[in-house]
Amino acid sequence: MSMLQATGWLGNLTNEELNQVEKRGILKRYCAKKIIFEKDEVLNRYYYVVDGLIQAYHQNRDGRKWIVGQFSQGDLFPHTGLVGDETIYPASSKTLASSILFVIDRQAARELIHRIPSLGQWITQFLANKNQELISRFSDLVLEPALSQLVSLLKRLARQSGIQVSDGWVLIPNLMAEQDLAAYIGVAPETVSRLFRRLYRRNCAKSAGRGKIYVNFDKLPI
């Protein structure tokens, strides 16, 4: 079982340490659109994404949704309770696509962090990055209009998973659906649709079919 190793994210660990980690958790396969846990449930498991796509979100009684984040290969979630004493999940999460998760009990996770310093380091760094990203999103949400939020999201995705295709053009191969983009930046789906129309018209972006889009890094506003 070297699936954790294959993800490359725990690369700092020695084989022995990796074994320590692997024998304390199990691999679990999920179909698409399955709830993994819901907000306010008791936080007793952590999940490391070996493969697939997961969405974390808040939802109110009216069904209105705000997407906290999306996790893919190499991500660990939730992001609370590893060092502090939070006892419930801060958001709900579900699979967007069929996924393989490495599942580990909370207590076991805490022991591992204690036992393997480099793992603690990795997690600290990981959480810091997630935190930074979230702060930046909140800042945009409060300070920037929708177009600028969308553009900064596209830029981040292009940086993270973009594929260079030609002069200035980058393909984002796994873009979430427009309604998810809307729930992510906190605007109505119609707004996202109209913003994309503007970007297409200005030749800043080109649609490439479902879940794919070309963006021109240089021409994108802001």
What's phi and psi for 175, nearest 5 deg?
Answer: -65, 140
Decide if residue 219 touches DNA (CB under 7 A). no
CB-nearer residue toward DNA: 24 or 65: 65
Decide if residue 139 touches DNA (CB under 7 A). no
Using CB atoms within 10 A of its CB, is residue 41 exposed (0-12), middle (13-18) or buried (19+)?
exposed
Q: Round to whole Å and give the CA distance between 107 and 213.
A: 42
Q: How many CB atoms lie within 10 A of CB 129?
A: 10
Binding-site member from 191, 199, 205, 213 for DNA (CB under 7 A)? 191
CB-nearer residue toward DNA: 86 or 190: 190
User: Which span sits near DNA by CB under 7 A: 19-27, 71-79, 143-151, 154-162?
Assistant: 143-151
CB-nearer residue toward DNA: 145 or 173: 145
What's phi and psi for 166, nearest 5 deg?
Answer: -165, -175
CB-nearer residue toward DNA: 103 or 177: 177
CA distance readout (Å), 215 to 151, 171, 190, 212? 10, 6, 20, 10
Decide if residue 178 touches DNA (CB under 7 A). yes
Decide if residue 193 touches DNA (CB under 7 A). yes
CB of 50 to DNA, least distance (A): 22
